[in-house]
Structures are given as C-alpha cells and as structure tokens.
Amino acid sequence: MDQIRIVGGNRLNGVIPISGAKNAALPLMISSLLTDDTLTLENVPHLADVERLIRILGNHGVDYSVNGRRESQGAGYSRTIHFTARHIVTTTAPYDLVSKMRASFWVIGPLVARMGEAKVSLPGGCAIGTRPVDLFIDGLKTLGVDIDIDGGYVHARAPKGIQGGHYEFPKVSVGATHVLMMAAALANGAVEISNAAREPEVVNLAECLNAMGARISGAGTSHIVIEGVQSLSGARHRVLPDRIETGTYAMAVAMTGGDVTLEDTSASLLETALDSVRAAGVEVTPTNSGVRISRNGAGLEAVDVTTDPFPGFPTDLQAQFMAMMTKAKGTSQITETIFENRFMHVQELARLGADISLSGQTATVKGVGGLKGAQVMATDLRASVSLVIAALAAEGETVVNRVYHLDRGFERLEEKLTRCGAEVERLSV
C-alpha cells in the first residue's frame, strides 16, 4: 500500500493546473446511460473513482474510448472520453461494484428512466456519515417509480415510464438532485424540484443534459423545472474545473507561504471559501485564466467558518481549512453542518502538534507556533489531503498512510506540488 512522504518547510511558488472536477465528471458519465448515442466528455480527470465508474458503466454495456494525447497537452492530465450506451445489457448494479463508491448508486435514475427498471445495491463510500439514500428513493417515488428494498438491493420499476410531478427535498442533497434531474429528463410531463442543490456541478450536468436535448431550467437555483422529452441524443460537453482542488491548493499556499497561480479554474466557483482565505490575511487575486494565491511574510489570522450547501462554505474544504487554521494566530471555530462524522482528521492533525478540541459538530482550533512531522493515517478523501497540507508546513518529515483515498480525488498531487517547490514523494511499501 502506497505512502506519501513529505518534508515540510518549503514555500510554494509557480503554477498549478486545476483538473476537471470529480464531482462533476461522475454524474456526467452516468448520464451517458440516458441515450443510445455517444456522449463525449472533455476534461475528465485521471482518478481512481473515474476508473471505477468506467468499470461500473461497462457492466451495463457502456462502451468507451479515450482520445490520445494532443500537442501542447501535458502527459497524464485530463482526457476526452467517449461513452456509448447503445445497448443496455443489464439493469443490475451489483454489490461488489457499488459498495466501493457511493456515486455509483446514481445509475438508478437513468436506468429506470430509460429501461423502466433498475436493481442497484445500496452504496458504500467514505466513512464520513450515514448519507442515507432516503431522499433518492422518496424523490423517485414521487415520479411514479415503484421501489422495494430487499437483500441489500433497491429494486426500482417504472413500467409506464417516469411521470411528471413535484418533489421538495426536506434537506439539500447534491446526489439526489443529480439523480432526479437525470430521471426526469425522460419523464412523461413536467417535473419540478424544490429545495434543489445549487452547486456548480448541478449546473454543469443540466447544461450537458440540455445539450443532449433535455429541457431543464432553473439549475443553479433552488427550484428546477424539467420538461420531459421522449429521447436524448449524444453531445459534446466539458467537465468544469474542480473547485475543491482549487480551494485545496489555495489553502496549501496560504499555509506554507509563497505565490502560486491556479490555472484553468475560476474564483467564481468558490467565492465563500476564497473570502475565508482572504480573511485569514492571504492575497487572493482572480486572473483571466484562474486565481493567484500569495502570502509572503505575514502570519495567518484566525477565521470562523460553518459549512453549508452552495453558495456556502463547502464541506469538502472543511478539513483543509482546519489544517490551515492550526497555524493561525488566535482561536478559530469550525462548524460542520452537512455530515455528522467528518472530524476524523482531528486526531491525525493532533499527531502533528495541532491543538483542536471537539464539542458536538464544532471544532475549536487554537493556533500553534509550529507543527512537527509524524506518521499519520488518512481516513477519507478530504481528510487525507488536509494532512498533506499540514505536513507541507510542518518541521521535518511526515509520512501519510492510506493514500489510496487521495487517488480517488486528486490528480497527480505529488507532481503538482513538487513543481512548486514542495518536497513530496510517493513510496511503495
């Protein structure tokens, strides 16, 4: 199992290209199940979760091909992939595939919409909370889908197709918004979704579905209307930049000091998070191609944050921001409102010398003069990269174990950091 070894203390200077967003790529890939034409996706990142979903889609009969490297394109970076679901050979998504990645459960929407049925295993994924599928199931039921749960599988049937209707989420869910939007694209009639997720990834999916012939309005607001159509065609669509990767590297530069331009991204995708970085005393400057982050000399100031659905502070940046606050002057409070078990990185940050106490869903972080390298263990995707950020600013050597979590969501992390002056290497043990 691989490890990452980091020797801290180096400032980061240079350029980091931001990859396509995993959280956008996955639902876009799944939407290929809605048509028998080819869906071409540009800017798809090289990630373990993407490769896993390709295998899951292949199980259903989806063919895929990948464009070769193009002139001026860096080796190993984001790709163009063509997905063709001409013949769905099975509507069953088995446990051994779905249990390894929660987002694979989302195939239930397109499958039941196009084929009239789906049998999908209850999902797995990161251990950061229960994240039940109740909202998915309740929403599909509202659209005329009969659902039974038996033997760990969700059986969904809609012999008369997806029906028009109205569903109001009792709480915001990005995944369930994706699923209902995909299913409703082929509905008999109009579907209204209230209290929908407003994340940029939802907008990216709606834009893709509309390019395929869907009729979706309101994406990016809390009220989405989908006028169902009989069939969808193929399309060509680009995966939007990864705002979580953007924020992660912004916080890495903020914590270590230096001057880095994050390219192929947009500050508008994460304004709340960047405002919090600015409040900590870091210079954040939008550019034509991305955003420039610099901190040269001044210390970090303590800043309180509370995670919220978009446009609030992203839960997927909470661990990284906490790492940054471990070296801030003063005391900050970080409150997690999305997932009930997303503070597992606290114990590992403490191994590096952080002073963090927990009370319910709030972490109180007292800034310390310095962190020291240690052996640490990654517990989930975002927690793992928070340990990398902290290690970059720590004195001495840190070894991060279980880095397969990192490979699920960060494309070529060691290479991007090393190019900016960090001392980072992957170890095979």
Identical topology for domains 2-16+242-428 and 24-238: yes
Predicted local distance difference test score (pLDDT) of residue 129 = 40
Residue 133 among known ligand-binding residues: yes
Residue 132 among known ligand-binding residues: yes
Contacts of 331 (CB under 8 A, 6+ apart): 302, 364, 365, 366, 367
Predicted local distance difference test score (pLDDT) of residue 128 = 34
What's the token pair of residue 321?
Answer: 């921001």
User: What is the layout of strands, in order, in the sheet containing 2-7?
Assistant: 375-377, 397-401, 2-7, 423-428
Partners of 141 in the β-ladder: none
Contacts of 429 (CB under 8 A, 6+ apart): 1, 2, 3
Query: Is the CA virtual torsion 65, 69, 71, 73 positive or negative?
Result: positive
Predicted local distance difference test score (pLDDT) of residue 132 = 67
227 phi, psi to nearest 5 deg: -90, 110
Quote the CA–CA distance of 9 and 392 in Å, as a whole number.
6
* R_g (Cα) of the chain, nearest Å: 22
Residue 289 among known ligand-binding residues: no
Residue 7 among known ligand-binding residues: no
CB atoms within 10 A of CB 369: 7
* CATH of span 24-238: 3.65.10.10
Partners of 395 in the β-ladder: 372
Question: Annotated catalytic, 126?
Answer: yes
Per-residue model confidence as pLDDT tens digits over 98-147: 888 888 999 999 999 999 999 999 875 444 344 468 899 999 999 999 99
Helix axes 108-115, 174-184, angle to 10 degrees: 10
Q: Where are the domains of the chain?
A: 2-16+242-428, 24-238
- What is the DSSP secondary structure assignment for residue 127, as one 8-state letter? S
Quote the CA–CA distance of 180 and 197 in Å, as a whole number.
11
Residue 173 among known ligand-binding residues: yes
Predicted local distance difference test score (pLDDT) of residue 130 = 44
What is 2-16+242-428's CATH superfamily?
Answer: Enolpyruvate transferase domain (3.65.10.10)
CA distances from 166 to 81, 139, 210, 222, 227 (A): 34, 9, 20, 13, 12
Residue 23 among known ligand-binding residues: yes
Quote the CA–CA distance of 289 and 266 in Å, as a whole number.
7
236 phi, psi to nearest 5 deg: -120, 130
SS3 category, 407: helix
Quote the CA–CA distance of 273 and 377 in Å, as a whole number.
26
Predicted local distance difference test score (pLDDT) of residue 369 = 86
Predicted local distance difference test score (pLDDT) of residue 102 = 83
Q: Which residue has the tokens 């931001």?
A: 18
Active-site residue identified among 47, 107, 126, 392: 126
Q: Up-side HSE of residue 54: CA atoms within 13 Å toward CB?
A: 17
What's the token pair of residue 325?
Answer: 């606050």
CB atoms within 10 A of CB 133: 22
Contact present, 322 and 386 (Cβ < 8 Å) = yes
Predicted local distance difference test score (pLDDT) of residue 428 = 86
Q: Mean pLDDT, 10 residues at a time, over the chain (429 residues)?
A: 93 96 97 98 94 96 87 67 98 90 92 98 55 86 96 94 97 96 98 98 98 98 98 98 97 97 97 98 96 91 97 96 97 91 88 96 95 91 90 97 88 95 92
- What is the DSSP secondary structure assignment for residue 101, as one 8-state letter? -
Residue 100 among known ligand-binding residues: no
Quote the CA–CA distance of 150 and 87 in Å, as a whole number.
27
